[in-house]
Structure 1
Amino acid sequence: MAVLSKIRERSLILILVIGFCLFAFVIGDVIKSGGFGVTRNIGSVNGTDIPVQEFLEKVNNLERRQPGISPTQASNAVWSEEVDRILFGERFEQAGLRVGKDHVINIFAQAPQFAQNPQFLNAAGQFDKAKFNEFLVNIKTTDPQMWGLMEANTPVAETTAMRQIYTAMVKSGYVATNNDAKARYEAENNKVTFDYVYVPFSSINDDEITVSDDEIIAYMKKNEKKYKSQPTRSIEYVKIEDKASAEDELEIRERINSLLNSRVEYRDGKNDTLPGFKDMKLEEVPDFVNANSDIKYDSTYVVKKNLPKDHADDIFDLAKGEVFGPYVEGGYYKVTRMLDKKDGGSVKASHILIAYKGAMRAAPTVELTKEEAKAKADDLLKQINADASKFGVLAAQNSDDPGSKNNGGTYDNITPGQMVPAFDEFIFNNPVGKTAVVETDFGYHVIKVDAKYEAVRVATIALEILPSDKTGDQTYAKASQFELDATEKPFEEVAKAANLNVVNVAKLLPSDESIQGLGSQRGIVLWAFSKDSEAGAVKRFDVSDGYVIARLKDVNESGLMPVEEARLVIAPIIRNEKKAEQIKGKMTGDTLEAVSQASGSKVSTAENVTMGSAMVPTVGVEPKIVGSAFALEAGKTSGLIVGKSGVFKIATKTVEKAAELPNYNSYLARVEKQEKTAAASRISTALKENADIEDNRVKM
Structure 2
Amino acid sequence: MALITKIREKSGIAAAAIAVSLILFLLGSDIFQGKSRFFGGNSDEVGEIAGESISSKDFQNKVEEASKAYSAQTGRGPSEQELAMMREQVWNQYILDFAYGKEYEALGLSVSPEELVDMVQGNNIHPSVRQQFTNPQTGQFDKNYVIQFLKNLKSMPAAQQQAWANFEKSLGQDRLRSKYESLLRLSTYTTNIEAQKDYQAQTAKADVQYLYVPFYSIADSTIKVTDSQLEEYLAKHKDLFKGENTRSIQYVTFPVIPSKQDTASFYNDIKRLAKDLAVAKNDSAFAMMNSDVKTPYLVSLAEVPAAVKTQLGSMIAGGIYGPFKENNVYSIYKYGGIQKDSLFTLRASHILIRPENTSDSSKAAARKRAEGIMAQIKGGANFEALARLNGMDGTAQQGGDLGFFKNNGSMVKPFEKAVFGFSGAGLIPGLIETDFGFHIVKVTEPKSNTRYKLAAINRTIAPSQATMDEVLRKADNFAAANTSAEAFDAAVKKDKNILMLRAERMLEGSSNVNNLTNARDIVRWAFNDDTKVGTVSDVFQNDNQYIVAILTNKTSKDEVKVADYRDELTARVRAELKAEQIINKLGGISGSLEQVAQKYGAGALVETATDITLAQGVLSSAGADPTALGKAFGLKVGQKSKPFKGEQGVFIVQAVKSTPAPAIADLTMYKNSARMMAAQRASFYINEAIKENAKVVDNRARFY
Length-normalised TM-score, structure 1: 0.72
The structure 2 residue matched to 1:457, chosen from 453, 469, 473, is: 453
2-structure distance, mates of 1:35, 1:611? 52
SS at match of 1:615: coil
1-structure distance, mates of 2:606, 2:348? 66
Shift of 1:699: 2.5
Partner of 1:26: none
Contact 1:633 1:652 in 2 (8 A): yes
Contact 2:297 2:456 in 1 (8 A): no
- 1:624–1:416 CA distance, 2 compared to 1 (3 A): closer
2-structure distance, mates of 1:171, 1:207? 51
Shift of 1:176: 0.3
2-structure distance, mates of 1:296, 1:134? 42
Shift of 1:431: 9.3
Q: Deviations over 1:583-622 (max 9, x none)?
A: 2243231332442122233433222221111322343101
Q: Deviations over 1:611-641 (max 9, x none)?
A: 1113223431011112112222222221111
Partner of 1:542: 541
Shift of 1:470: 2.6
- 1:73–1:82 CA distance, 2 compared to 1 (3 A): same
Partner of 2:184: 170
2:623 matched to 1:617? Answer: no
SS at match of 1:553: strand
The structure 2 residue matched to 1:86, chosen from 88, 98, 104, is: 98
2-structure distance, mates of 1:97, 1:462? 59
Shift of 1:660: 1.5
Shift of 1:580: 1.5
Contact 1:43 1:694 in 2 (8 A): yes
Contact 1:637 1:650 in 2 (8 A): yes
Partner of 1:301: 299
- 1:316–1:501 CA distance, 2 compared to 1 (3 A): farther
- 1:689–1:309 CA distance, 2 compared to 1 (3 A): farther
2:52 matched to 1:51? Answer: no
- 5+ unaligned residues in a row in structure 2: which ranges? 1-37, 351-356, 359-377, 429-434
Contact 1:589 1:598 in 2 (8 A): yes
Shift of 1:658: 1.5
- In structure 2, what residue type is equivalent to 1:590? S
Q: Deviations over 1:152-206 (max 9, x none)?
A: 6666544433322221121112110111111111111112222211111121234
Partner of 1:494: 491
The structure 2 residue matched to 1:485, chosen from 464, 481, 484, is: 481
Shift of 1:661: 1.0
Partner of 1:114: 129
- In structure 2, what residue type is equivalent to 1:632? L
Query: Taking every aligned residue pair, what percent have the same amino acid on both sides?
Result: 24
- 1:97–1:628 CA distance, 2 compared to 1 (3 A): same
- In structure 2, what residue type is equivalent to 1:78? V
- In structure 1, what residue type is equivalent to 2:596? V
1-structure distance, mates of 2:651, 2:403? 62
SS at match of 2:539: strand
- In structure 1, what residue type is equivalent to 2:689? A
Q: Look at both structures and tell me which one has the larger radius of gyration over its CA atoms.
A: 1
Contact 1:107 1:161 in 2 (8 A): no
Q: How does 1:41-80 map to 2 (within 5 A)?
A: 41-63=45-67, 64-65=69-70, 69-80=81-92
Q: How does 1:594-613 map to 2 (within 5 A)?
A: 594-600=595-601, 601-613=604-616
Shift of 1:317: 3.8
Shift of 1:578: 2.3
Q: Deviations over 1:457-483 (max 9, x none)?
A: 233344432222332221111010111
Partner of 1:559: 558
The structure 2 residue matched to 1:179, chosen from 166, 178, 193, is: 193
Shift of 1:254: 3.0
SS at match of 1:195: strand
Q: How does 1:83-482 map to 2 (within 5 A)?
A: 83-105=95-117, 108=120, 110-112=125-127, 114-115=129-130, 156-209=170-223, 219-260=233-274, 280=279, 283=281, 285-286=283-284, 289=287, 294=292, 298-303=296-301, 306-310=303-307, 312-314=309-311, 317-341=314-338, 347-348=345-346, 412-414=403-405, 432=423, 451-453=446-448, 455-482=451-478
2-structure distance, mates of 1:543, 1:149? 36
Which range moves more in the overlay, 425-434 or 625-634?
425-434
2-structure distance, mates of 1:669, 1:287? 69
Contact 2:230 2:569 in 1 (8 A): yes
1-structure distance, mates of 2:571, 2:501? 24
Shift of 1:505: 0.9
The structure 1 residue matched to 2:528, chosen from 527, 530, 534, is: 530
- 1:516–1:309 CA distance, 2 compared to 1 (3 A): farther
- In structure 2, what residue type is equivalent to 1:519? T
Shift of 1:244: 0.7
SS at match of 2:510: coil
- 1:229–1:308 CA distance, 2 compared to 1 (3 A): farther
Contact 2:288 2:456 in 1 (8 A): no
Contact 1:625 1:648 in 2 (8 A): yes
2-structure distance, mates of 1:315, 1:163? 59
Partner of 1:510: 508
- 1:309–1:221 CA distance, 2 compared to 1 (3 A): farther
2-structure distance, mates of 1:553, 1:523? 17
1-structure distance, mates of 2:286, 2:170? 57
Contact 1:195 1:605 in 2 (8 A): yes
SS at match of 2:530: coil
- 1:187–1:549 CA distance, 2 compared to 1 (3 A): same
SS at match of 1:535: coil
Contact 1:613 1:621 in 2 (8 A): yes
Which range moves more in the overlay, 460-469 or 193-202?
460-469
1-structure distance, mates of 2:557, 2:230? 14
2-structure distance, mates of 1:306, 1:567? 55
Which range moves more in the overlay, 73-82 or 632-641?
73-82
Contact 1:48 1:86 in 2 (8 A): yes
- 1:254–1:135 CA distance, 2 compared to 1 (3 A): closer
- In structure 1, what residue type is equivalent to 2:454? V
SS at match of 1:542: strand
1-structure distance, mates of 2:333, 2:247? 50
Length-normalised TM-score, structure 2: 0.71
- 1:461–1:532 CA distance, 2 compared to 1 (3 A): same
Which range moves more in the overlay, 132-141 or 663-672?
132-141
Partner of 2:635: 632
SS at match of 1:320: coil
- 1:297–1:413 CA distance, 2 compared to 1 (3 A): closer
1-structure distance, mates of 2:627, 2:190? 25
2-structure distance, mates of 1:607, 1:619? 14
- 1:218–1:89 CA distance, 2 compared to 1 (3 A): farther
Q: Tell me how many residue pairs correspond in the alignment.
A: 594
SS at match of 2:310: helix
The structure 2 residue matched to 1:662, chosen from 642, 661, 665, is: 665
SS at match of 1:514: coil
Contact 2:579 2:645 in 1 (8 A): yes
Q: Deviations over 1:341-362 (max 9, x none)?
A: 457796217799xxxxxxxxxx
Contact 1:350 1:408 in 2 (8 A): no
- 1:428–1:101 CA distance, 2 compared to 1 (3 A): closer
RMSD: 4.7
Shift of 1:692: 2.4
1-structure distance, mates of 2:451, 2:154? 55
Q: Deviations over 1:512-561 (max 9, x none)?
A: 11221201211222222222222222221122212111222222224367
Which range moves more in the overlay, 520-529 or 305-314?
305-314
- 1:681–1:292 CA distance, 2 compared to 1 (3 A): closer
- 5+ unaligned residues in a row in structure 1: which ranges? 1-33, 262-275, 353-364, 367-388, 436-441
2:604 matched to 1:590? Answer: no
Q: Deviations over 1:410-435 (max 9, x none)?
A: 96544697969x99x99999994799
Q: Deviations over 1:275-304 (max 9, x none)?
A: x656x47x464465467655568422342x
